[in-house]
Amino acid sequence: MTTEHDTLIRLAAFRWLHAQVAIHGDALPRSVLAKGFEIEGERVPLVGPQGIFKPRVLPAPLSITTVAGGPYQDAFAGDLISYAYRGTDPGHADNVGLRRAMAEHLPLVYLFGERPGWYTPIWPVFVVGDRPNDLFFDIAADDQRFGMPFEPTDVAEERAEIRREYVTSVVRLRLHQRAFRARVLAAYRDQCAMCRLRHGALLDAAHITADTAPEGEPVVSNGLSLCKLHHAAFDGHFLTVRPDYVVEVKRSVLDEVDGPMLQHGLKGMHGQSIVLPNAFNLRPDRTRLERRYQEFRQAG
């Protein structure tokens, strides 16, 4: 296969992913990724039974996958993604394939397992390091978008490395936020803890302690599943959740007279107990809620 043909297929994969994200949203079902697309009469899936996946039409891997709750624990090391080897043999064909992708600067798709059967695709990413003693590859995201060439540009390599480190740090934040949202919504059975709304597109994972604070870890006990209205009201201190898991609405809002949205959407939440996760260790941390409640009271 020529370099031009390899690039053609990878660009086609990126364009296809762009179209699928427009249809399904940021997270794609495995069934869609496994079906893939056709080019020149050949079907090209994006995912296979193993994490490092090379479709038949390409000489080197096209995608790498992290499965939610899987055996391989990928992590962010600084501004890079540490991607685990296939097994413990550096000479395994899958590991050799990723080493080839690194040597030839081939763009890949990183499929992040957001929850079982659903993946957030990040593309293009590049293998930029190999650590056989640790059994990890180093992966960096790039800020090029589908349809752009991947041949070297006139951008200095040092600048390109700085750019990739920055973009990977942005990707890291995005993936952590999406993973946090998926875990929180699953704990609350995909409904708003206040009004029980079940439309997933209208649900957020709200932080009790802000994620910008040192104690703002992305753990479920620091989150609440809220619809967009109640998330905004919670962040703006129009209402809060007390440590006894009861909603309290701001006095000025309770005294205000307005239409049905204010009456039923906000005022009607006052004094109501929230929906809680079944698992006690996933329920909102009472100490965090107490701190949040004091902030709410100070906000008046």
What is the reported pLDDT for 157?
53
Question: pLDDT grade, residue 53 (50/70/90)?
Answer: very high
Domain boundary pick from 184, 200, 234: 184
What is the reported pLDDT for 146?
33
Are 7 and 56 within one domain? yes
What would the pLDDT profile of 224-238 be if each residue is shown by its tens digit? 999 999 999 999 999
Closest C-alpha among 134, 110, 25 to residue 61: 110
Range of weakest confidence among 51-55, 169-173, 263-267: 169-173
Are 87 and 231 within one domain? no
Across the chain, mean pLDDT equals 86
Are 216 and 130 within one domain? no
Give the C-alpha separation, 139 to 120, whole Å.
16
What is the reported pLDDT for 116?
82
What would the pLDDT profile of 169-214 be if each residue is shown by its tens digit? 667 667 777 778 888 999 999 999 999 999 988 999 999 998 878 8
Are 177 and 206 within one domain? no
Higher pLDDT, 24 or 247: 247
Mean pLDDT across 134-159: 60
* CA distances from residue 64 to 9, 17, 25, 82, 142 in whole angstroms, order as listed: 16, 14, 20, 12, 15
Place of tokens 């600048």: 159
Percent of the chain beyond pLDDT 70?
Answer: 85
Are 258 and 153 within one domain? no
Are 44 and 133 within one domain? yes
Are 59 and 110 within one domain? yes
Higher pLDDT, 273 or 69: 273
Number of domains in the chain: 2
Domain boundary pick from 184, 204, 229: 184
> Is the per-residue pLDDT at 264 higher than 70?
yes
Are 124 and 156 within one domain? yes
Are 218 and 76 within one domain? no
Cis peptide before 124 (omega within 30 of 0): yes
What is the reported pLDDT for 76?
55
Higher pLDDT, 163 or 295: 295
What is the reported pLDDT for 136?
92
Domain boundary pick from 145, 166, 184: 184
What would the pLDDT profile of 121-134 be if each residue is shown by its tens digit? 988 889 989 999 99
Are 113 and 217 within one domain? no
Are 170 and 208 within one domain? no
Are 147 and 200 within one domain? no
| Residue ranges making up the domain that contains 121 | 3-184
Question: pLDDT grade, residue 26 (50/70/90)?
Answer: confident
What would the pLDDT profile of 89-108 be if each residue is shown by its tens digit? 999 999 999 999 999 989 99
